[in-house]
Chains A and B, each alone.
Chain A
């Protein structure tokens, strides 16, 4: 398109978008849980074209000195050159680092896992969950997809039972007996793009993000509590506009929770 912004404005005036969606409509969300058999937990999430896969590996580590009864959850978001032409190979770019920090904040703020649950033997041994989120296709709204993939993968993680052998002080791992993690809350992210300081659209595609004057991501859990309100600059918003975003985030949370419960239910008989 010669004038992408003008092209978009014409659609926005009619309250719809070039791909036929309404301003408040999300793209088709699909989730596939447990696809990576070598990982302790995994999930693949597709939000329209945006594809993010999350793999979780559990390993042993000594707990931190200042909190001997806590384990670690280490998220890492990788945006490889595979997913979009804007990323080059080499050390993680700014966007990947910001996304990693965002996911780390969501895990910490929402208390999705109690770190005490990851402790095996206080002061000696604890689990560390390495969560690797890799984007396979970048078409906007990466934060929503990552949060959802992380949540789905964590629900899929099965940790084997570990007992510390008193004589040898070594860990005895029993692979036959596995248990799921205790997921306390279900944070769901909803992203918006701001156009021309006034219009708010939900779930922006890559092109919409590029043309937008600002973005906003709200992470909400079941009780309507906010874990994160991430608005990295961009045009100003009034309190009233924020309220509209909140209500949209609440409905989105219900949609996502329903989808995930369905998928988990369909997997249980295994």
Chain B
């Protein structure tokens, strides 16, 4: 039920003040469903942008800009992970050179330590801690992480392991959708 629309524009012209001489300038704009973008959106934009910077081969397109615009269509939990997945697929669809794919996984820990992957908005609200990870496709390394709530070190490792196992499903979904897209046209 959570859906995010992502559009990638680039490699395109970049303003002289923002250009980097040896790699592409990545920009991410996140628009919430209701209201004006605020500080929370800025923070999420930075997380997504830094994740993209780690995987996109910017050196192949110096002095250009690659802009990703995300519009939240509906939010029913696990929003940041959905944004990350949308961004990755949009970058692949745009043909932006990347060294790996990435996916977003959300984990919720409730008061008795039970792990729930991909929680709904209700589960997130009642959880003691909500952890969002971005994992890369090559070695399942942790690219980005952001957490809310209190949890212990052991629980973190447990969530990370569960997220790594779950990322397989997301990458399989990527592969299948891309196969479907390119087999028709």
Chain A residues close to B by CB (< 8 Å) = 94, 97-98, 100-102, 104-105, 108-111, 213-214, 221, 224-239, 242-243, 246
A236 touches B157 (CB 8 A): no
Contacting residue for B42 out of A94, A105, A235, CB 8 A: A94
Contacting residue for A246 out of B54, B147, B153, CB 8 A: B153
Chain B nearest Cβ from A4, distance in angstroms: 14
Interface presence of B35 (CB below 8 A): no
A109 touches B50 (CB 8 A): no
Interface presence of B31 (CB below 8 A): no
Bound together, the chains give a CA A243 to CA B124 distance in angstroms of 26
Interface presence of B4 (CB below 8 A): no
Interface presence of B120 (CB below 8 A): no
Interface presence of B176 (CB below 8 A): no
Contacts of A229 in B (CB 8 A): 131, 145-147, 156
Chain A nearest Cβ from B146, distance in angstroms: 6
Chain B nearest Cβ from A228, distance in angstroms: 6
CB-nearest residue of chain A to B135: A236
Contacts of B150 in A (CB 8 A): 109-111, 221, 225-227
Bound together, the chains give a CA A214 to CA B68 distance in angstroms of 21
Contacting residue for A233 out of B131, B134, B153, CB 8 A: B134
CB-nearest residue of chain A to B146: A230
A236 touches B156 (CB 8 A): no
Contacting residue for B47 out of A213, A233, A243, A246, CB 8 A: A233
Bound together, the chains give a CA A225 to CA B46 distance in angstroms of 25
Bound together, the chains give a CA A109 to CA B128 distance in angstroms of 9
22 sample A-B contacts, Cβ–Cβ < 8 Å, listed by A number: A94-B42, A98-B46, A104-B39, A213-B54, A214-B54, A225-B150, A225-B151, A229-B156, A230-B146, A230-B147, A233-B143, A234-B50, A234-B53, A234-B143, A236-B139, A236-B141, A236-B142, A236-B143, A237-B142, A242-B160, A243-B153, A243-B157
Chain B nearest Cβ from A216, distance in angstroms: 8
CB-nearest residue of chain B to A249: B153
A233 touches B149 (CB 8 A): no
Contacts of A234 in B (CB 8 A): 50, 53-54, 143-144
Bound together, the chains give a CA A227 to CA B43 distance in angstroms of 17
Interface presence of B36 (CB below 8 A): no
Chain A nearest Cβ from B100, distance in angstroms: 9
A105 touches B148 (CB 8 A): yes
Chain B residues close to A by CB (< 8 Å) = 39-40, 42-43, 45-54, 131, 134, 136, 139, 141-153, 156-157, 160-161
Contacts of B136 in A (CB 8 A): 236
CB-nearest residue of chain B to A215: B50
CB-nearest residue of chain A to B152: A225
Contacting residue for B146 out of A226, A231, A235, A239, CB 8 A: A231
- A236-B54, A242-B156, A242-B157 known; 9 new pairs, CB 8 Å cut-off, are A97-B43, A98-B46, A226-B147, A226-B152, A230-B145, A232-B50, A236-B136, A238-B141, A246-B153
Contacts of B149 in A (CB 8 A): 109, 227
Contacts of B139 in A (CB 8 A): 236, 238
Chain B nearest Cβ from A7, distance in angstroms: 18
Given A226-B152, A239-B157, are A233 and B39 also a contact pair (CB < 8 Å)?
no
Bound together, the chains give a CA A214 to CA B139 distance in angstroms of 17
Chain B nearest Cβ from A241, distance in angstroms: 9
CB-nearest residue of chain B to A102: B43
A101 touches B42 (CB 8 A): yes
Central interface residue in B46, B134, B136, B142, by most chain A CB within 10 Å: B142
CB-nearest residue of chain A to B138: A236
Bound together, the chains give a CA A238 to CA B131 distance in angstroms of 16
Central interface residue in B52, B136, B147, by most chain A CB within 10 Å: B147
Bound together, the chains give a CA A170 to CA B2 distance in angstroms of 47
Contacts of A213 in B (CB 8 A): 54
Contacts of B43 in A (CB 8 A): 97-98, 101-102
Bound together, the chains give a CA A94 to CA B27 distance in angstroms of 12
B53 touches A233 (CB 8 A): yes
Bound together, the chains give a CA A49 to CA B134 distance in angstroms of 33
Chain A nearest Cβ from B183, distance in angstroms: 31
Contacts of A226 in B (CB 8 A): 147, 150-153, 156
